[in-house]
Amino acid sequence: MSETTYHLVHANVAHMRAPLDDPIMTEFVEQIDEIDGIAHNLPGFVAQPTPPDAGVVFKDDVLLNMSIWKSVESLYEFTYKGKHDQVLERRAEWFEQQDTQAYVLFWFPAGEIPAEKEVKKRIETLHQKGATPHAFTFEERFTVEEMLAYREKES
């Protein structure tokens, strides 16, 4: 199988300091469309889907942001360069800072949308096992081929 049959999923879970309509969150909310627009126009961006079970796992003060990319490199470029990086630097103003990893990266079949339950499992795997080809971070990346070999070994 080749990388074209899988896309990279980035899922970020954040605990909001207040509801989205609270004045504390105003500046964050005002930037969402601009940041999303930047991502949508970048090479390597695939989609920003709504999970089929949206709101079932992550609700109340928990915000799930999920996007799908063609490569780790294209997502990294968006995340840590330009306007998004500036907003990321200010995240503590709007979101509680967690002791554990707040995001996960994983390969998923192209054209499919992971459910919130799947995202939760991947985050839990990352917390329990550390980075593996099943659930990883920018700091410890894995290729599609490594994910497929890992899956084969695990089954």
What lies within 8 Å, CB to CB, of 45 at 6+ separation is 39, 67, 68, 69, 70, 74, 78
| Backbone torsions φ then ψ of 153, nearest 5 degrees | -70, -35
Q: Are strands 103-109 and 95-96 parallel, antiparallel or unpaired?
A: unpaired
Confidence (pTM): 0.92
Quick one: average pLDDT of 116-130?
A: 95
Distance set, CA 16 to CA 61, 94, 120 (Å):
5, 6, 17
Q: What are the pLDDT digits (tens) for 68-103?
A: 999 999 999 999 988 999 999 999 999 998 766 689
Asked if 130 contacts 101 with a C-beta cutoff of 8 angstroms, the reply is no
Q: What CA–CA distance (Å, rounded) separates 20 from 9?
A: 24
Structure tokens, 141:
């990346």
CATH class given for the domain over 3-154 = alpha beta
pLDDT of residue 2: 46
**pLDDT of res. 123:** 95
Q: Would you list the domain boundaries of the chain?
A: 3-154
The total of other beta-carbon atoms located within 10 Å of residue 136's CB is: 24
DSSP, res 136: B
**Residue 44, pLDDT score:** 96
How do residues 3-57 score in pLDDT, each as one tens digit?
A: 459 999 999 999 999 999 999 999 999 999 999 999 999 999 999 999 999 999 9
Taking the C-alpha atoms of residue 126 and residue 101, their distance in angstroms, rounded to an integer, is 8
